[in-house]
Chain A
Amino acid sequence: MKASAPELTKDHAKGGIPRRHWRIGDRIFSNLTLVFAMAVVGILIGMIIALNIDALPAIRKFGPAFIWSLSWDPVKESFGALPAVYGTLLSSAISLIIAIPISLGAAIFLVELAPAWIRAPGSFLIEMLAAIPSVIIGLWGLFVLVPFVRSPIEQWLGSRLGFLPFFQGPPFGVGFLAAGIILAIMVIPIITAMSRDVMRAVPASQREAMLALGATRWEMIRRAVLPYCRSGLVGAVILGLGRALGETMAVTMVIGNSYALTASLFSPGATIASKIASEFSEATGDVFIGSLVELALVLFAVTLAVNVVARLLVWRMTVVKTTRE
C-alpha cells in the first residue's frame, strides 16, 4: 500500500496536464496544499527547536551523561534518563509480546475463518476498543487490572518462576507488568485492525492457488496469506509500538512511578512519558524543567530510532522477497 503510493503520483503527474497550463484555481489549490504540507513539517521542526532551547540548561549541565545516568534527584539537581528509557522499552516490549499473537490470531480469524455474520460486528467491537480514552483504560487498570495482577498473576509467577530475576520482589500489582498488560490492551485493536486490512488485501487468487494444490486451510494461511502481507503486518506492529512508546495517562496510573532499574517485572517503574506527565506541572528551577524537556527529546529520539529500525526491517523483507521471486 505504502510502497506503491509514490509511483501513483508520479504516473499521475506524467499523464496529467503540464504545470504551466494549469488553471488559476488549480494553482491556488496546489499552493494552498503546499503551504499546509510545509506547515506540518514546520511544526515538527519548530517543536524540536523549542525543545532544544528549553532543554539547554540540562544539556549544558549533564552533557551526554544524561542518557545513561540513573539518578532523578530534584533536591540535588542531578538527573538522568536511563531508568525511564528502560521502562519505556520494557513496558512496550511486554505489550508487544502479549499483543502480537492475540492481534494476529484475531485478524486471521476475522479474515479467513470467521463466518460472515461475525466479521462485521467483530471488527466493529475491536475498533470500539481503540476508541476508549486512555484515562478510562487507566482507571479500569488501577481498580480492576492491578488487583488482578497482584493476585493471582504475580503471586503465581512469583511462587512458580520466582527463581528467575524477572519474577522476584513483592507483588505490588502496580509495575512494569501491569503497564505492559495495559499497553497490550491499547495496542491490540490497532494491530488487529491494520493486520485485518492488509490480509484482506491479499488477492483471492493466492488463496485459491494454494488450496488447489491441496493445502489445508492452515497451510494456505501460513504459506500464501502471511508471507504475502508480511511487510504490512510489520507495519501494523510498528504502529502499535508507536502507540505503546508514547502512551502516557494509562501507564502513569498503573506503572507505580518509581525511578528504578531492576530486572523484575513486578517492580514499580516509570516511562519517559509517565515521568514527564507526573512531574512537569510542579517542576521548579531551570535544570529540573530542562531535564524533563530533555527527556521529551530522548523520547523523540527513541521513537525515531524504533521507526528507522522498523522501516529497515520492512525494506529488507521486501528486498528479500523480490530477489527470491
Chain B
Amino acid sequence: MRKIKLLTPVILITLLLGVTIAGCTQSAPTSPAATPSPTVNLNGAGATFPNPLYAKWFDEYYKITGIKINYQPIGSGGGISQITQGTVDFGASDGIMTAEQLAKAEAAHGPILHIPMTSGAVAVIYNLAGISSGQLKLTGDVLADIYQKKITRWNNPRLTASNPGLNLPDEPIAVVHRSDGSGTTFIFTNYLSKVSPDWSTEVGNATSVNWPGDIGGQGNAGVAGQVKQIAGSIGYVELAYARQNSIAWAQLMNLGGKYIEPSLAATTKAAEGVTLPDDMKVMITNSSSPDAYPITGFTWILAYANQTDKAKGETLVKMLWWAIHEGQQYTQPLDYAPLSSTAVTKAENQVLSIIYQGQPLLSR
C-alpha cells in the first residue's frame, strides 16, 4: 500500500516530464533552418472567397511538381496580418491593403506585391413571389438607397420606373448583409461608394461597415439563407454561390446604361473597361466596358517583392507563373472568371519583378 502511495506522484511527475520532453523534440524539426529539405513547401493564408480555386490549384500543382502548398482560408484580414507578421510565404486578399497596412508591412519586409489571380462578381439576390431570376432590374443609386434604408418598399416609384413590366408588391424591403467582415462586402460597398455620394460619405467602403439596415447573415450561406426565408428580402452573395444554389439575381445597370446579368464573361469584361495600373492595386467595380457587370473585383495573392530565402522564392515565383497561365483553365469550372489578357501581362511583370538579393528569381 505504502509503496503504491509513494509511487503515484513519481509516476505523475515522470509522465509530466515525458510529455514536456516529447513536446520539445516534436517541435524541433519544424523550425525551417534546421533541416533543408529537397522539395520546398510553401505556406499561405488569407481570403476565403478564392479558396475552392486555390485548393484545386495547389492539388493539381502537387500532382505536377510534388510541391506541397498549404493554404489556410482564414479571411482577407487574416491574410494581411499574417503577411505583415511574416508568418507565411504568401498572403491572399480580396481587398487592397490600406496605406496604413502597407506602411506597416513594408517597413518590416520591403515592398508587398498584389498579384491578381482571378476575378469574381457579387450577385444581388432577392426573394419576390412571382418574379424569377434576372427579371428585376436595378440601378446603382437605387441599390445604394435600398441598403441605406432610404427606399423601404418594393413599389417605390424609383423601383417601378426601372421595372415597367413587373408588378412589384406594396411590401417592405428586408435588407440582408454579411455580418462577418468579408471581401465580398468590400467589393459591394466599393461599388455603392462609386455610384452613390451619400453612401460614400455616410457608410463608406470596407470589409465591414456600419450597416444602416436590417439583418446580418454569417457568410454567403447565411445571407442566402435569410433571403430564401424572408419574403421581400434583398441580399448580396458571391456569383459562384448564387449560381451553385440557383438563387434569383437582379440585373444591374452598368456605367454604359445597359442592364447586365452577373456572369463570368461579364466579369472578365469588367477588367477591360479600366486602365489597369502596373501594381494592379485597382478596384474594377463600375467598369466602363459596355458589356461589363458592375460589381466585380480581383482577388490577389500578396507576396514579398524581396524574397529572403532563395529556394522558397524560386518555388513561389514558379507557382505564381503557373497559376496565372495554366492555372486559369480551372477558373471557369469552379465559377471564377479568368483574368483578361491585359491582366495576365501585368501579373507576369509583377512575378518577374520578385527578387532575391537583387537578382530576379525568374526570367522569361
Residues in B whose Cβ lies below 8 Å from that of A24: 6
The answer to whether the Cβ of B210 comes within 8 Å of any Cβ in the partner chain is yes
A76, A143, A258 — which one has the most chain B CB atoms within 10 A of its CB?
Answer: A258
Instruction: Convert A5-42 into 0s and 1s, putting 1 for each residue whose CB lies closer than 8 angstroms to a CB of B.
Output: 00000000000000000011110110010000000000
Q: Are B5 and A278 in contact (CB under 8 A)?
A: no
Interface assignment of B290: CB less than 8 Å from any CB of chain A: no
B77–A284 CB distance below 8 A: yes
Chain B residues with Cβ below 8 Å from A283 are 77, 181, 208
A46-82 with Cβ < 8 A to chain B = 71-76
Identify A76's interface contact among B101, B204, B229, CB under 8 A.
Answer: B204
A74's contact among B9, B174, B209, by CB below 8 Å, is which? B209
Contact of B80 among A32, A258, A268, A284 (CB under 8 A): A284
- Confirm or deny: B182 has a beta carbon within 8 angstroms of a beta carbon on chain A: yes
A residues apposed to B, CB below 8 Å: 23-26, 28-29, 32, 71-76, 142-143, 146-147, 150, 170, 172-174, 252-253, 256-259, 268, 270, 278-279, 281-285
**A28 vs B215: C-alpha distance in the bound complex, in angstroms?**
57
Tell me whether A74 and B214 are in contact (CB under 8 A).
no
Closest CB of chain A to B93's CB: distance in Å? 10
Interface string of B225-241 (1 = CB under 8 A from A): 11001100000000000
Q: Using CB atoms and an 8 Å cutoff, list the residues of chain B in contact with chain A.
A: 5-10, 12-13, 74-78, 80-81, 98, 100-101, 172, 174, 179-182, 203-211, 213-218, 222, 225-226, 229-230
By a CB distance below 8 angstroms, the chain B residues around A173 are: 229-230
A172 touches B180 (CB 8 A): no
Question: Is the pair A258, B215 in contact by a Cβ cutoff of 8 Å?
Answer: yes
Asked if A23 and B81 make an inter-chain contact with CB atoms under 8 angstroms apart, the answer reads no
Known: A147-B229, A284-B77, A284-B101. A278 touches B206 (CB 8 A): no
Chain B residues in 8 Å Cβ range of A259 = 210-211
Contact at A257–B210, with CB atoms within 8 Å? no
Are A75's CB and B205's CB within 8 A? Answer: yes
CB pair A278 B179 closer than 8 Å: yes
B215 interface neighbour in A75, A143, A268, Cβ under 8 Å: A268
Minimum C-beta distance from B105 to chain A (A)? 12
Q: Are A25 and B181 in contact (CB under 8 A)?
A: no
Q: Are A282 and B172 in contact (CB under 8 A)?
A: no
Q: Is the CB of A282 within 8 A of B218?
A: no
Given the known A-B contacts A74-B208, A282-B75, are A257 and B181 also in contact in the complex, defined by CB atoms under 8 Å?
no
Chain A residues, Cβ within 8 Å of B222 = 253
Which chain A positions have C-beta within 8 A of B100?
Answer: 285
**With contact pairs A146-B229, A278-B218, A285-B100 given, residues A74 and B74 touching in the complex (Cβ less than 8 Å):** no
Q: Which of B8, B100, B206, B222 has the most CB of A within 10 A?
A: B206
- CB <8 Å contact, A282 and B180: yes
- Whether A252 pairs with B230 at a CB distance below 8 angstroms is no
Closest CB of chain B to A199's CB: distance in Å?
38
Which of A26, A142, A143 is the most central at the interface, judged by chain B CB atoms within 10 Å of its CB? A142
**Bound Cα distance from A279 to B181, whole angstroms:** 5
Question: Which residues of chain A are near B216, meaning CB under 8 Å?
Answer: 256-258, 268, 270, 278
Q: How far does the alpha carbon of A278 sit from the alpha carbon of B75 in the complex, in Å? A: 12
Chain A residues closer than 8 Å to B98, beta-carbon distance: 284-285
The residue of chain A having its C-beta at the shortest distance from the C-beta of B233 within the complex is A172
Task: Decide if A281 touches B211 in the complex (CB within 8 Å).
Answer: no
Give the interface centre of A32, A76, A146, A282 by most chain B CB atoms within 10 Å: A282
Q: In the complex, which residues of chain B have a beta carbon less than 8 angstroms from the beta carbon of A72?
A: 210
- Neighbouring B residues of A29 by C-beta, 8 Å: 8-9, 12
Q: How far is it, in angstroms, between the C-alpha of A72 and the C-alpha of B181 when the chains are bound?
A: 13
With the chains together, A172 CA to B231 CA distance in Å? 9
Q: Closest CB-CB distance, B84 to chain A, in whole Å? A: 10
Q: Are B214 and A172 in contact (CB under 8 A)?
A: yes
Are A23 and B209 in contact (CB-based, < 8 A)?
A: no
Residues of chain A contacted by B182 (CB below 8 angstroms):
282
- Point out the residues of chain A lying under 8 angstroms from B217, CB to CB: 257
CA distance A25 to B9 in the complex (A): 6
Known: A256-B214, A278-B218. 12 other contacts (CB 8 A): A28-B10, A32-B9, A74-B210, A150-B230, A173-B230, A256-B216, A258-B213, A268-B216, A278-B216, A281-B181, A284-B101, A284-B181
On chain A, the residues within 8 Å of B205 by CB distance are: 75
A143 to B224, CA, bound (A): 12
User: In whole angstroms, how far apart are the Cα atoms of A268 and B211 in the complex?
Assistant: 12
How far is it, in angstroms, between the C-alpha of A128 and the C-alpha of B180 when the chains are bound? 31
Q: List 15 A-B contacts (CB under 8 A).
A: A24-B6, A25-B5, A32-B13, A72-B210, A74-B209, A143-B225, A146-B229, A150-B229, A150-B230, A253-B222, A278-B181, A282-B78, A282-B182, A283-B208, A284-B80
Contacts of A278 in B (CB 8 A): 179-181, 216, 218
Kindly identify which residue among A32, A256, A281 contacts B74, using a CB–CB cutoff of 8 Å: A281
CA distance A315 to B177 in the complex (A): 47
Contact partners of B214 in chain A: CB under 8 A: 172, 256, 258, 268
Contacts of A32 in B (CB 8 A): 9, 12-13
Minimum CB–CB distance for A137 against chain B, Å? 15
For B186, the closest partner residue in chain A by CB is A282
Nearest B-chain residue to A268, judged by Cβ: B215
Residues of A within 8 A of B211 (CB): 258-259
Residues A284 and B207 in contact, CB atoms below 8 Å apart? yes
CB neighbours (8 Å) of B74 from chain A are 281
Query: What residues of A have a CB within 8 angstroms of the CB of B5 in the complex?
Result: 23, 25-26
Closest chain A residue, CB of each to CB of B9: A28
Contact A281–B179 (Cβ < 8 Å)? no
Distance, CA A73 to CA B208, complexed state (A): 8
Contact B218 A75 (CB under 8 A): no
When the two chains form their complex, are residues B6 and A23 in contact, meaning their CB atoms are under 8 A apart?
yes
CB distance from A284 to the nearest CB of B (A): 4
Cβ distance A143 to chain B, nearest Cβ, rounded Å: 8
Q: Considering the chains assembled together, what is the distance between the CA atoms of A147 and B226 in angstroms?
A: 10
Contact B204 A75 (CB under 8 A): yes
Partner of A75, one of B75, B76, B180, B206: B206
Quote the shortest CB–CB distance from B74 to chain A (angstroms).
Answer: 6
Residues of A within 8 A of B101 (CB): 284-285
B218 touches A73 (CB 8 A): no
Max count, chain A CB within 10 A of own CB: residue among B74, B172, B180, B182: B180
